[in-house]
Structure 1
């Protein structure tokens, strides 16, 4: 008699190794308690319309590059807005709660704003002249030290010469000097992962700011990436040390005004929830909102 596997006999899915993502590493650098709230407690955060708009624009640009090169036109990109929003909101119905049910004009105006960001993108480059190797590329590597790095690259361009360009779209409204520092941290993170995966230092890290139609390009070198790799290893060791005891301390600063967790923060008279212990599976996962900020 043939015996089929039962729930008891079927192997359990393997837990993913704990990993560090650029968003979570940036959280810990900014404020260890913020890292705990997001990665350990996994407290929910209500996104803003601006964050959703960034997620939508990223999705549209990914779809745009899936089209044949001659079809990558501004009007075609705008045609992708509503289908992309329908798909995103179907997967996350709670996102629609940011818009009044009885006022369709709110969504229409919001989509129009997203269309302006797409216009800004086309003013920066012509996608018909590009053929990326990948969009929304998942990258992951374990360093010799045992630290696992994981993230998503908006776009990876590889020239016939083998030169690599890492491209990231920015649609957020963070203060420029803080936002750029955080974004460059993210880009160096990706550069380290790609360098260790492929043995090639990316020739260029390119940030495209769609709100004001500006680009920022940076060329890293190997000594810099080695130093940054050590920085990431130090951040992970500090996270593990805090994780053993739950001692994730707040670090008040200018970005506190945008924090969703002030009511739980001791710096603002709040009390964090009881520490639940180091999370399983890993705390390194990024959300689409993380990747769009």
Structure 2
């Protein structure tokens, strides 16, 4: 037993230092203070019904691909909705709190909307014919950038490996296809996943697909290695900027249109709010440029 521990006490696991995921890298590029609030302070953000529905649909598809290919049918997916929601509501009280209880009529309507998204999924591909080799796979890699090591983390919704060795990364989106002018954020995410596969598997994926379940659209991206190396330099620059801000917590707000839906205006000086005391950079100080 460690010094100072008492019988029955549970020692909390150490916090891992932040890393770049597609979401956190996008946060910093949009607003450095938002990155701090989410990655360092970890301020709570109440989930929306749309966000929870996306999590539920992902859980159903994960369970569906755990079954034999011949049983991956629309009826099987619908049958998984109830059990997956029960598990999710138990593990995530904030999600359960979005409804008055299991008899809430709004819950039934909401579950029907999730069922509709699953039905749309089956119009985009036949899961019985998908050569999935990994589902909801966590990937961690270290990018050797020009300014130091850049830790990358992400979750691949699905990795397909065909008999001929072709690699395809598939990502499910439960929203609609982004409109004109918003393609950049989609391409950023796709390049991140492609780079993660290159770093962890030593090869560029042959194809990346985004499946938009709200409107039944599939977007395909075929990366090349030179392009991914250029993208790696962008991530290196983002991480270098984070390292510069980390020792003192000098993550500055960037006021813009995205502020309309931000949960943290009350803590943002750009909106006359007051940030919480900076907790310091979690984990190894070396990850923040060698300073505490």
Cα distance between partner residues in 1 of 2:281 and 2:177: 30
**How many angstroms apart in 2 are the aligned matches of 1:267 and 1:96?**
33
Of residues 186, 190, 193, the one that matches 1:187 is: 190
CA distance in 2, matches of 1:174, 1:51: 16
Are the counterparts in 1 of residues 131 and 162 from structure 2 also a CA contact under 8 Å?
A: no
Q: Deviations over 1:2-60 (max 9, x none)?
A: xxxx2339999676454222211111011101101111111000000000000000000
**Residue 211, structure 1, aligned to residue 214, structure 2:** yes
Any idea what SS the aligned residue of 2:250 has?
coil
SS across alignment from 2:246: helix
Residue 51 in structure 1 maps to residue 51 in structure 2 = yes
Cα distance in 1 for partners of 2:244, 2:218 equals 38
CA contact (8 A) 1:72 1:128 kept: yes
Q: Please, what TM-score do these two structures have when normalized by structure 1?
A: 0.88
- Which 5+ residue runs of structure 2 have no aligned equivalent? 6-10, 288-292
Shifted more, 252-261 versus 199-208: the winner is 252-261
CA contact (8 A) 1:17 1:148 kept: no
Structure 1 residue 175: Cα displacement: 5.5
| Change over 3 Å in CA distance of 1:115–1:191 after alignment to 2 | same
Are 2:243 and 1:240 equivalent residues in the alignment? Answer: yes
Q: Which residue is equivalent to 1:290?
A: none
Deviations 1:219-276 (A, max 9, x none): 1101100000111111111111111221111112222222111222222222222222
| 1:99-123 Cα distance to aligned partner (Å, 9 max, x none) | 1238521111110000010011011
- Provide the residue aligned with 1:71 in structure 2: 71
Corresponding residue for 1:37?
37
> How do residues 164-203 of structure 1 correspond to structure 2 at under 5 angstroms?
164-172=167-175, 176-177=179-180, 180-203=183-206
Describe the shift of the 1:171–1:12 C-alpha distance in structure 2 as closer, same or farther (beyond 3 A).
closer
Residue aligning to 1:3: none
Correspondence list, 1:117-128, <5 A: 117-128=117-128
Alignment-derived partner of residue 92 in structure 2 = 92
Corresponding residue for 1:143?
143
> Number of matched residues?
278
TM-score by length of 2: 0.88
Secondary structure of 1:192 counterpart: helix
> Is 1:252–1:267's contact at 8 Å kept on the other side of the alignment?
yes
Distance verdict in 2 for CA 1:13–1:111, change over 3 Å = closer
With over 3 angstroms needed to count, the CA separation of the structure-2 counterparts of 1:133 and 1:107, relative to structure 1, is same
CA contact (8 A) 1:136 1:152 kept: yes
Q: 1:279 aligns with which of 277, 282, 286?
A: 282
Please identify, of 119-128 and 95-104, the stretch whose mean Cα deviation from structure 2 is larger.
95-104
Shift of 1:161: 2.1
List gaps (5 residues or longer) in structure 1: 1-5, 285-293
Aligned to 1:224: 227
State how far apart, in whole Å, the 2-side matches of 1:100 and 1:147 are: 44
Counterpart CA distance in 1 for 2:12 and 2:113 is: 45
Aligned with residue 2 of structure 2, among 1, 7, 19: 7
Preserved contact between residue 40 and residue 279 of structure 2 (Cα < 8 Å):
yes
Which residue in the other structure is 1:287 paired with? none
Comparing 34-43 with 267-276, greater Cα deviation is found at 267-276
